[in-house]
Amino acid sequence: MQTWRGAENTPAGWRGGVVTIGFFDGVHLGHRQIIGQAVRRAHDRSERAVVLTFDPHPGEVLRPGSHPALLTTLRHKAELLEAIGVDALCVQPFTLDFSRLSPAEFVHGMLVEQLGASVVVVGENFTYGHRAAGTLATLAADGTRQGFEVDGVRLVRSGEQVLSSTEIRRRVAEGDVESAAVALARPHRVEGVVVHGDARGRTIGYPTANVEVTPWAAVPADGVYAGFACWDGRRQPAAISIGTNPTFAGWERRVEAFLLDFDGDLYGEYLAYEFTRRLRPTLRFESVDELVTQMAADVEATRTVTLPV
């Protein structure tokens, strides 16, 4: 998948094609419906499917301090988009100046002049331009005048509710990673570099890899989870702990995991933890022996969940 930053930097030979627009945090089932339509239209026309996304999240620029927890890093988002057939990803820096473009300026400058869109595919509730003044109807009217088609895609619903990144973030924040995985069509994950911790795990027989998660990551509720550690093409079952380690009077919230059947040095590695099931909440134990007994049970539970017979 070809990737570039800033629509004005669209490489020669990559103008034109079917463009879909959105932040697409999580690349969840609702997003996949829209992106999938763009990929199908591109294939039907023997053109390329291009995703126009933004960085950072618009909320942080327009309302500083309101940045939501993110379900995907830009790196993971790109991997997911490529896996579902997207040919190119344009990452548009979201700045105050960019936010002040009128709907007409956005359409003519970004979609027509810089990306050269032949078809634009968006969700039925799509808005754009300064103060979100542009709508699906104005986009379709602009398309008629400026020579591109517009597809409005019906949003995916969960019961009566539209499936949204906000709803999935809520599920993750509550520790409901199984429900989140259904909406995401994959396990939720957090990523980061493995850093040094207190090294207590090694002394009690359960060495853990402590990940310094990426900024704004949607970290599940405190507790112990069955899941996987992923790096360099490997996917290893792992018992993942999130919390402050109250047994040792800890204060710093950490994301760390014991990797089953693994013996190696992961310091400095870029690691992703995938969450399959919440096993229990964070507990304070009266002794190290009690903690070790519970950790043994957590590891066996993780083995049952991740390595079913």
Which of 3.40.50.300, 3.90.230.10, 2.40.30.30, 3.30.750.24 is the CATH number of 183-306? 2.40.30.30
Residues of the chain with CATH 3.40.50.620: 2-158
Task: Give me the mean pLDDT over the 2-26 stretch.
Answer: 96
Compute how many other C-beta atoms are within 10 angstroms of the C-beta atom of residue 144.
Answer: 11
Q: What is the pTM of this model?
A: 0.92
Helices (H), the chain: 29-44, 58-62, 74-83, 96-99, 103-105, 136-146, 165-173, 177-184, 200-203, 288-306
**Cα–Cα distance between 167 and 196 in angstroms, integer?**
34
| Token couple for 46 | 């023997």
| Token couple for 115 | 């990306």
Task: Give me the mean pLDDT over the 255-261 stretch.
Answer: 95
Q: Looking at residue 247, what is its pLDDT? A: 53
Q: Looking at residue 309, what is its pLDDT? A: 55
pLDDT in tens, 238-256: 999 999 875 545 557 899 9
Q: Looking at residue 198, what is its pLDDT? A: 67
What share of the chain in percent tops pLDDT 90?
82
Q: Looking at residue 35, what is its pLDDT? A: 98
291, HSE (Cβ side, Cα atoms, 13 Å): 18
Compute how many other C-beta atoms are within 10 angstroms of the C-beta atom of residue 203.
Answer: 10
Q: Looking at residue 139, what is its pLDDT? A: 98
Report which of residues 159 and 268 the model is more confident about.
268
**Cα–Cα distance between 164 and 170 in angstroms, integer?**
10
**Cα–Cα distance between 19 and 274 in angstroms, integer?**
30
Residues of the chain with CATH 2.40.30.30: 183-306
Given pLDDT bands bounded at 50, 70 and 90, which one contains residue 300? very high
245 residue type, one letter: N
| Token couple for 287 | 């002794």
Does 203 have pLDDT greater than 70? no
Given pLDDT bands bounded at 50, 70 and 90, which one contains residue 6? very high
pLDDT in tens, 95-153: 999 999 999 999 999 999 999 999 999 999 999 999 999 999 999 999 999 999 999 99
Tell the CATH superfamily of the 2-158 domain. Answer: HUPs (3.40.50.620)
Does 289 have pLDDT greater than 90? no
